[in-house]
Amino acid sequence: MTAAIDGARARRDAAPIIAIEAVLIDIEGTISPLAYVRDTLFPYAAARLSEFLRRHGGEPEVAAQLEAARRLAGGADPLAALEAWRRDDVKAPPLKALQGLIWARGYAAGAFSPPIYPDALAALRRWRDEGVPLYVYSSGSLQAQELFLEHSAAGDLRPLFAGRFDTGVGAKTEADSYARIAARIGVAPATILFCSDNPAELAAAEGAGLKVAHIVKDGASSDPRWLAVADFSEIILYPRR
């Protein structure tokens, strides 16, 4: 189903109604507090990375990521490379994959449950019920996304989404990544709304022709390039007649 989008404040400013066929959603800082990943997930994985590799380094799935880390680091020691990427917040695919494996054990043990902004959850459910396909694009690996959505404090959110993307499709700050996503979804870039808290990601998405909504939560700064959306209820989808 095709839909149109307008925001309450955008209507106030007489902004045009824009046709939308899909919504692309960031996770961290957009539908869930950034602090959850920063203060809960990352420290949990960091404290267990060395021991996890020592215990499970011989398992095929882990060994494959260690070899990928070695190649990415130009033949250097993979553990040292992983630790350096972690310290510098480098979104290296092998590190993301290994963090996901560690988090899987934490989720299974009930160590944490991701919080979801209530207004974001209500909007996602409303849009899905209106027939608008929803997609995730996060820097977290597909496995990490799966775990996050499955074990959220609001229950299993996986059925809300028609598909998910990670940095395997490209960096979130590169316009080509969003063009690839549009091609995979099968709709024109101009008919996708991308919701994120990150201005660099919004600029890249807009550069690829997507419509964007700057989600501003928990005292985050707005950006003069875009209308700040503090509550998802400000984004209203209208089915095209």
CB atoms within 10 A of CB 111: 13
25 and 93, same domain (yes or no): no
Q: Where among 51, 78, 108 does a domain terminate? A: 108
Q: What sections of the chain are H helices per DSSP?
A: 8-12, 34-36, 42-56, 60-72, 78-87, 93-108, 118-129, 142-150, 175-185, 199-207
pLDDT at 240: 47
Burial of 34 from C-beta contacts in 10 A (0-12 / 13-18 / 19+): middle
In this structure, the dihedral spanned by the alpha carbons of residues 199, 200, 205 and 210, taken in order and rounded to 10 degrees, is: 20
pLDDT on residue 16: 40
- Long-range contacts for 145-154 (Cβ within 8 Å, ≥24 apart)? 145/27, 147/100, 147/103, 147/104, 147/107, 148/27, 148/32, 148/114, 150/107, 151/107, 151/112, 151/113, 151/114, 152/32, 152/113, 152/114, 152/115, 152/116, 153/113, 153/114, 153/115, 153/116, 154/116, 154/121
* Alpha carbon distance 149, 157 (integer Å): 5
Q: Are residues 178 and 221 in the same domain?
A: yes
Residue 99 and residue 82 in contact, taking contact as beta carbons nearer than 8 Å: no
**Residue 225 and residue 150 in one domain:** yes
Three-state DSSP state, 6: strand
Examine the domain organization and report whether 181 and 212 are in the same domain.
Answer: yes
Do both 104 and 188 map to the same domain? no
Predicted confidence at residue 197, as pLDDT, reads 96
Q: How many domains does the chain have?
A: 2
Same-domain pairing of 27 and 83: no
Dist CA 178 CA 24 (whole Å): 10
In this structure, the answer to whether residues 128 and 14 fall within a common structural domain is yes
Q: Which CATH number characterizes residue 7's domain?
A: 3.40.50.1000
**Domain end call among 87, 108, 129:** 108
Answer yes or no: do 92 and 166 share one domain: no
pLDDT for residue 188: 93
Is 48 found in the same domain as 10? Answer: no
- How much is the pLDDT for 18? 52
Instruction: Based on the fold, state whether residues 55 and 148 are members of the same structural domain.
Output: no
Where residue 60 sits, what CATH number does that domain have?
1.10.720.60
How far is residue 60's CA from residue 15's CA, in Å, rounded to a whole number?
53
Same domain, 100 and 150: no
Last residue of a domain, one of 108, 135, 165: 108
Q: What is the mean pLDDT of each run of 10 residues along the chain (241 residues)?
A: 45 49 95 92 94 95 96 94 92 90 93 96 94 94 91 96 95 97 96 95 97 92 91 78 42
Gyration radius of the chain over CA positions: 19
Kindly state whether residues 67 and 88 are assigned to the same domain.
yes
Burial class (CB in 10 A: 0-12, 13-18, 19+), 109: exposed
Could you list the residue range(s) of the whole structural domain that residue 26 is in?
A: 3-32+114-239
Predicted local confidence at residue 216, as pLDDT: 96
